[in-house]
Amino acid sequence: MNNREGEEWKELRKPAQEKMLRPAVVASYGPLIEQVTDDFIDILKRKKTIDDLQMTLSNYTTESVAMLCFNRRLGSIASEEPTEIVKCISEFFTLLHKSMIMPFKTFKYFKTPLYKQAEVVRLRIQNIVEKELKAQLDVLNQLKKKNQLDDYLQKDPNFMYSLLADSRMTLGKITSIVTTLFNAGIDSTANSMLFALSDLAFQEKQHAPEKTVVGDRKNI
């Protein structure tokens, strides 16, 4: 979706926005993400120290975004190494940065080595997403055959099903939306958290109101 413009971009963006960014919709996904967050906090308490905060946060956001996109845990928050999707996303954005600072954008006119590298990484990301999409589709189809789909959907919100039920969507469009969401959501959320935590750690003036408002409470 991120390489489209104008009406083509709007055609994909509008359904995704309706199903993700409205306050009531966002609130409905809260309990799913809270499960991941609670488990992540428990892991941090046991570890005491973190050697690579960016990698740790990226693995956490991978788990969170997977719950949003696929209603499934990937088991990434307990990993001591970056997951395959995190490696791919990091590599992709590194290549994107290189392309932005190039004096001559030759990749716009023919497939340069940089372009080919980015293409390979993008396909790796797409393959990971398509595998998870297929797994979730299989779950939904099996539940439908057993007449258990309605009960399943009433228990938890399902972003994937909401897209499938939309007449404007095709499987290709859904793949594009979810790939973009998975890719951008992991990177932007992890980096935002990283900068926020770093700023808080260095701002002594911020610690006083934190202690006043939060105190010794374990839950905020």
CATH at residue 88: 1.10.630.10
Q: What pLDDT was estimated at residue 5? A: 55
In a domain, 139, yes or no: yes
Assign 157 to helix, strand or coil: coil
Confidence of residue 33 (pLDDT cuts 50, 70, 90): confident
In a domain, 162, yes or no: yes
Q: What pLDDT was estimated at residue 50? A: 84
Please give the model's pTM, rounded to 2 decimal places: 0.78
- HSE at residue 78, side-chain half, CA atoms within 13 A, is 7
Confidence of residue 88 (pLDDT cuts 50, 70, 90): very high
36 contacts: CB under 8 Å, gap ≥ 6: 60, 63, 64, 67, 73, 77
Q: What pLDDT was estimated at residue 219? A: 58
Q: In this model, does residue 65 exceed pLDDT 80?
A: yes
Q: In this model, does residue 216 exceed pLDDT 70?
A: no
Is the CB of residue 143 less than 8 Å from the CB of residue 135?
no
Q: What pLDDT was estimated at residue 123? A: 92
Distance, in Å, from the CA atom of 99 to the CA atom of 206, rounded to the nearest integer, reads 38
Q: In this model, does residue 200 exceed pLDDT 60?
A: yes
In a domain, 86, yes or no: yes
When comparing pLDDT for 159 and 120, which is higher? 120
**Number of C-beta neighbours around residue 185 at 10 A:** 20
**Joined tokens for residue 175:** 């793949």
In a domain, 1, yes or no: no
pLDDT digits (tens, 9 = 90+) for 17-27: 766 666 666 77
When comparing pLDDT for 175 and 203, which is higher? 175
What average pLDDT does the chain have? Answer: 83
Is the CB of residue 203 less than 8 Å from the CB of residue 211?
no
In a domain, 119, yes or no: yes
Our count of domains for the chain comes to 1
Lowest-confidence region among 34-43, 58-67, 172-181, 205-214:
205-214
Q: What pLDDT was estimated at residue 112? A: 92
In a domain, 104, yes or no: yes
Q: In this model, does residue 9 exceed pLDDT 90?
A: no
Structural domain span for residue 16: 6-214
In a domain, 220, yes or no: no
In a domain, 174, yes or no: yes
